[in-house]
Amino acid sequence: MKDTHTHFTIGTLAKKANCKIETIHYYEKIGLIPSPPRTEGGHRLYAMTDSKRLNFIRRCRELDFSIEQIVELLKFIDEPDHYCGEIKAMAMIQAREVQKKIDDLEHLKKALNDMVSQCKGEGFSIDNCPIVDALYVEPEEFG
Amino acid sequence: MKDTHTHFTIGTLAKKANCKIETIHYYEKIGLIPSPPRTEGGHRLYAMTDSKRLNFIRRCRELDFSIEQIVELLKFIDEPDHYCGEIKAMAMIQAREVQKKIDDLEHLKKALNDMVSQCKGEGFSIDNCPIVDALYVEPEEFG
DNA sequence: ATAGAACCTAAAGTAACTATAGGTTCAAGC
DNA sequence: GCTTGAACCTATAGTTACTTTAGGTTCTAT
């Protein structure tokens, strides 16, 4: 019996991280995750650490972080010799970025909800739709 | 004197819609906006209708609608027999999507802030990182 | 031993633009 | 009328973060 609890194939890793095998290949190619050991035949073998790392990456991607930003975040993890001050500073910068993104999205949400609440959905034709009107905004200077 | 009030060049249109000339070229190429008439020399000439349409497209893009979704929205606008219920539905779906993203980001922000306040001086490794722990979600079946 | 699932590499395709190259036209100033 | 430079033209390549395709190899279960 193989030690399937501590070592698994790329397909299993993909399922664990909820992504495709090709995505893992891609991350390896760009150096976001390390090249794992292989079987005799060349199949990749992963461990829990890899799963955690990939999971982190995928969650960050879901949150719209760019690969470049994730590289930065992973520095927190990959360089444990960093002093606390540096880590703190980077985490704070990252938190500010996140806040900015939240603010942007709140704005977006409000715009969408405003449109929705002004529109009764029925009885309005396109010529008389608040959503269309809301989106057809002329710029101040070039009307 | 040219009729600059009703006809303008691509550069002017770009400014009106707050986008680049190349983006307009691109939209024309993919058929999102019609090919306008040209001058003798081949320069594109636009009218107010074009400006309105492009403005609508750009606003939708700002709201994270995909080009494909915008094609759908424009169908509703181009076919006056449609009611705006469809547009409302799409806006609602979009708003829900945005809310989900906000919730995730709030989570991440908390994780980052927690990390800042928990930082005591040692570095974090992959197995000992508050951010990773906060983001790592065990998959249901594959723990 | 063999079938088929899972894996491998390399290259091309996708969305929604952006950037570059190299040439043409237009409008203003002399 | 001529020149100059901004604005425009086309076509192609580059960007990000993957996904898809093609064609071949390995692994595992019967």
Confidence band of A41 (pLDDT split at 50, 70, 90): very high
**CA dist., res. A133 & res. B58, Å (int):** 14
ipTM > 0.85 (yes/no): no
pLDDT surpassing 70 at residue B4: no
Closest residue to B88, CB basis, from A73, A91, A116: A116
Classify B138 as helix, strand or coil.
Answer: coil
Sign of CA dihedral B56, B61, B64, B68: positive
Domain end, chosen from B31, B54, B82, is at B82
Which pLDDT value is given to residue A42?
96
Whether residue B56 sits in one domain with residue B32: yes
Q: Which range scores top for mean pLDDT: A29-33, B75-79, B95-99, B102-106?
A: A29-33
B75 shares a domain with B22: yes
Q: Name the residue with the least CA to C1' distance from nucleotide D7.
A: B11
pLDDT-derived band at B21 (thresholds 50, 70, 90) equals very high
Q: How many distinct structural domains can be found in chain A?
A: 2
Q: Which tens digits make up the pLDDT trace of B29-65?
A: 999 999 999 999 999 999 998 998 999 899 889 877 8
Domain boundary among A52, A80, A108: A80
Q: Are residues B61 and B123 in the same domain?
A: no
- In the prediction, which pLDDT does A141 show? 45
- The domain boundary residue, chosen from B32, B59, B82: B82
Least confident of A102-111, A123-132, B29-38, B56-65: A123-132
What pLDDT sits at residue A27? 97
For residue A102, which residues of chain B lie inside 8 Å, CB to CB? Answer: 102, 105-106, 109
Q: Chain C positions under 7 Å from a protein CB?
A: 6-11, 15-20, 24-27
- Residue B24 and residue B52 in one domain: yes
Query: Which candidate from A55, A81, A87 shows the least CB-CB separation from B137?
Result: A55
Cα of B29 to nearest chain A Cα, Å: 22
The domain containing residue A35 runs over which residues? 1-80
Same domain, A14 and A55: yes
Q: Is 70 exceeded by the pLDDT of residue B124?
A: no
Give the gap in angstroms from C-alpha A41 to the nearest C-alpha of chain B. Answer: 25
**Optimal mutation site among A61, A90, A105, interface B, most CBs of chain B within 10 A:** A105
What residues have CB less than 8 Å from B1, skipping those under 6 apart? none
CATH code where residue B65 lies: 1.10.1660.10
Listed in sequence order, the residues at least 6 apart from A107 whose beta carbon sits closer than 8 Å to its beta carbon are none
B51 and B98 belong to one structural domain: no
- What is the pLDDT, as a whole number, of residue B101? 81
> Across all residues in chain A, what is the average pLDDT?
79
Question: Does residue B2 carry a pLDDT above 90?
Answer: no
Length of chain A: 143
Distance CA B21, CA B27 (A): 10
Count of helix runs (H) and strand runs (E) in chain B = 6, 0
Q: Which residue of B has its CA nearest to A95?
A: B109
Distances (CA, A) of A118 to A30, A141, B75: 47, 27, 21
Between A50 and B138, the higher pLDDT residue = A50
Q: Which of A117-121, A129-133, A135-139 is modeled with the greatest confidence?
A: A117-121
The pLDDT of residue B20 is 96
- Residues A54 and A120 grouped into a single domain: no
